[in-house]
Structure 1
Amino acid sequence: MTTDPTRRPPLPFREFLVKVHSRCNLACRYCYVYESADRGWRAQPVTMTPETAEVVCRRVAEHARRHALRAVRVILHGGEPLLAGGAFLAGLARALRAALPDSTRADLVVQTNGTLIDEPLLRLCRDEDIRVGVSLDGPRAVHDRHRRDPRGRGSHARVAHALGLLARPEHRSLWAGLLTTVDPTTDPLATYEHLLSYGPPSVTLILPLGNWTTPPPGRVPDAAATPYADWLIPVFDRWYRSGGAPRVPLFESAIDLLLGGESGTEVLGAAPSRLAVVDTDGSLTLSDHLKTTFDGADRTGLDVRSDSFDTLLAHPGIRARQSGPAGLCAECRACPLVAVCGGGHYPHRYREGSGGTGHGNPSVYCPDLTRLIGHMAGTVRTDLAARGSPVGPTAGRRAEGGS
């Protein structure tokens, strides 16, 4: 039996990120779509047509039926997806559920900057069973530093109003959580406490998209500098002491991996990517996070009208992201933290001119991940020892030593 990851049958997609609108009403300074190396958004239709959306729904249903998927997650994305209008989102949700086999559940989420959320929109989402994820980076001064509209006006007040609506009992079940981009120049605990003040069900902390060619803010070649770990560690300690509430996928995944489990995020672990992306014109693409590497990095030449998601599965870019630890560079494979780190997020590994796909490198966040994982491993081991629980995972012992 072969162990070559490139010859194993690909794993079917479980998540489908659908770009329903290709423009945005904000001009966030760190936006990976409009402020990065890729310029493909300029040629995209502003809004996905109902006809294209119907084909997307049929293709998702075809994939679910072929692979007997019990559930699919469809993320309505942009740009700003709410610019597509509530009627469009409702029509897509209905078409998807009508097309899927009875044995497949559809989990729909709209990921929005929150500025266009109002009562009618939330009533529509409740009627159509669409959950809502909102981006918020922290207190007004932090959030408005980057997340401004084209006229330079901050968006925090509008987002805070939207979160107040989502927190109401009649809408609470719709709220998928907050998405926060880490800014290492801010006060981590003040930022985190502000996020908690809205009572979110989860907080997804994301590292800014960057790579070796275009480093993220504050990430310098000095291996001793760990600005992102310095920010995340006090937040982790605060979260861990609270009993792990609310959910923070980054921290949960690290602990699961330390204890021999699986990751729930692409940022850690080397689990195969199960995500497909559809652009507003129907193009089937790779992760849109690849837009930060070079122009056209996410494009495949495939189209939802003529190509199935199984055809996309066979694309080399998908196979590379399903290759697991075998697809990592030699330095990562030899690292004692590889079971937890997994080489880090795929786009963070890119270096221009490094040969092959350009992703055969450790993560640009390697020093931060090393320190963060080591700290978390030590915390968990100390806690388990105090409880008299078996410590168990070798990965945890190695990670602690790596700190």
Structure 2
Amino acid sequence: MTGTVTVAEGGVAARPRPVPFSEFILKVHSRCNLACDYCYMYELADRSALSDPMLMAPAIFDHACQRIREHVRAHDQTDVRIVLHGGEPLLVGAPNLARMADRLREAVAPSQAQVSVQTNGTLLTPRALSLLADARVRVGVSLDGDRTSNDRHRRYASGRSSYDEVDRALRLLAERPDSYAGVLCVVDLAADPRETYETLVSYRPPMVDFLLPHANWEAPPPRRGDGPSPYGTWLAAAFDAWYDTSPRLTRVRLFEELINLLFGGRSRTESLGLSPVAAVVINTDGAYEQVDTLRSTYPGAVGTDLTVFTDSLDDVLRHPAVIARQVGVEALAASCRACPVHRVCGAGNYPHRYREGSFTNPSVYCPDLLLLIAHVQRRLRADLAAMPRERS
């Protein structure tokens, strides 16, 4: 399902019907071997992950499998996505990750589970990749561009570069396309957008996703004095680098999503549009959590006080904070509802709206999103206007 459904019962006013979770993020290891300075798990507002159990214990994993199976069957879901996450999930070891993937597939059968691992890439050896490939686990890697760009933020605690190990991992994945999920890249204003895009594409990923640094009204993003919308300007240049390439060498999730929404489609990501959140996190201690990027806002923002031992995933759907993420346009600030592109923007990523005590605000990146949307819209209109002449 991709939208909130309302139902009326016996003359009672229509009420939202929860959208079942279709993406399950399991925190299998709560530590990391890198010390990225923008990390929402360890460096921003909520650093409680540092005191969480290091590993997801077998009993917790078994309960998680049971809860996911219950949810999938209760809602007749034919396919779901499961992400083995961290911290750095490969600290668990590739053999254990492969066994977890097999167990999760058994749990949801006959429904299909697309299982992936999101890793920093430093521990992805040929042997580890072979084990994950055999278990049909797709691998996503984080890289912020070339060596200089990546090492600006993504280093070991000692300060040592992580680039060579990540470069090796991506070259391995380029030779195993069936196991290659894609590359995540955090936007850095100090990096050239076109060069960053070209660096990422050189690794032949099936998909690239550009992410805005996690920031909010209480902790604004660095702007470098580059005008009112430097992130929008950066992304617009990256869009042109992608859009003007023929044939296109990879998909770019952010840009494809913008085009989809501008043509009236429904959003398939929580960072744009109005589709309700359909992802849930299960922490190493068995606690259900909201999307983990909320750790960038304030301590405790991800908490639900529910666990796999005592509560079902339907109980999580009834949590007030989850309900608030599923009501669509009603959750937006009045200024956002009045904006002509609010169905495309959706007020941006939920954590980026935070101002003390409230998420009912525009995104801290509002000017950037407006610039990017207008730029993409202009490019599409120009191409559509030119189509009859090209055909003739």
Scaled by the length of structure 2, what TM-score is found?
Answer: 0.94
* Paired position in structure 1 for 2:348: 344
Q: Deviations over 1:91-112 (max 9, x none)?
A: 211211111131x101001000
Matched-pair contact (CA < 8 Å) for 2:209–2:254: yes
Choose from 257, 263, 280 the match for 1:259: 263
Q: Deviations over 1:258-292 (max 9, x none)?
A: 00112222111011000000100110011111101
1:166 and 2:173 matched = yes
Pair 1:2–1:333, CA change in 2 (3 A): farther
1:188 and 2:193 matched = yes
* Pairwise CA distance, 1:43: 2.3
SS in 1 for 2:138: strand
* Paired position in structure 1 for 2:381: 381
Matched-pair contact (CA < 8 Å) for 2:236–2:372: yes
Matched-pair contact (CA < 8 Å) for 2:143–2:150: yes
Matched-pair contact (CA < 8 Å) for 1:285–1:298: yes
Report the Cα distance in structure 1 between the residues aligned to 2:125 and 2:385, rounded to whole angstroms: 49
* Pairwise CA distance, 1:122: 0.9
Report the Cα distance in structure 2 between the residues aligned to 1:345 and 1:164, rounded to whole angstroms: 31
* Pairwise CA distance, 1:42: 2.5
* Pairwise CA distance, 1:202: 0.6
Report matched runs for 1:3-402 at 5 Å.
7-102=15-110, 104-168=111-175, 171-218=176-223, 225-243=228-246, 244-353=248-357, 358-388=358-388
* Pairwise CA distance, 1:241: 1.4
Cα root mean square deviation, aligned: 1.8
Matched-pair contact (CA < 8 Å) for 1:6–1:319: no
* Structure 2: gaps spanning 5 or more residues: 1-5
Matched-pair contact (CA < 8 Å) for 1:283–1:301: yes
Report the identity percentage: 50
SS in 2 for 1:388: helix
* Structure 1: gaps spanning 5 or more residues: 390-403
Pair 1:5–1:50, CA change in 2 (3 A): farther
Matched-pair contact (CA < 8 Å) for 1:286–1:298: yes
The amino acid across from 2:195 in the alignment is: A
Report the Cα distance in structure 1 between the residues aligned to 2:386 and 2:291, rounded to whole angstroms: 42
Matched-pair contact (CA < 8 Å) for 2:140–2:181: yes
The amino acid across from 1:241 in the alignment is: D
Instruction: Give the paired residue count.
Output: 380
Report the Cα distance in structure 1 between the residues aligned to 2:95 and 2:311, rounded to whole angstroms: 27
Q: Deviations over 1:290-340 (max 9, x none)?
A: 101100010010001111111000001111110101110100001001111
The amino acid across from 1:9 in the alignment is: R
SS in 1 for 2:152: helix
The amino acid across from 1:374 in the alignment is: A
Report the Cα distance in structure 1 between the residues aligned to 2:232 and 2:81, rounded to whole angstroms: 31
Pair 1:59–1:28, CA change in 2 (3 A): same
* Paired position in structure 1 for 2:3: none
Report the Cα distance in structure 1 between the residues aligned to 2:212 and 2:127, rounded to whole angstroms: 33
Scaled by the length of structure 1, what TM-score is found?
Answer: 0.91
Matched-pair contact (CA < 8 Å) for 2:7–2:14: no
Report the Cα distance in structure 2 between the residues aligned to 1:219 and 1:339, rounded to whole angstroms: 29
Report the Cα distance in structure 2 between the residues aligned to 1:300 and 1:338, rounded to whole angstroms: 28
Q: Deviations over 1:192-238 (max 9, x none)?
A: 11111111111010000110000122188x9x611101111111012
SS in 2 for 1:8: strand
Report the Cα distance in structure 2 between the residues aligned to 1:319 and 1:53, rounded to whole angstroms: 26
* Paired position in structure 2 for 1:393: none
Runs of 4+ in 1 over 4 A off after TM superposition: 1-6
Pair 1:252–1:40, CA change in 2 (3 A): same
Pair 1:6–1:288, CA change in 2 (3 A): farther
The amino acid across from 1:141 in the alignment is: T
The amino acid across from 1:312 in the alignment is: V
The amino acid across from 1:18 in the alignment is: L
Q: Deviations over 1:124-181 (max 9, x none)?
A: 111111000000000001101110001110101110011111111xx22100000000
SS in 1 for 2:254: helix
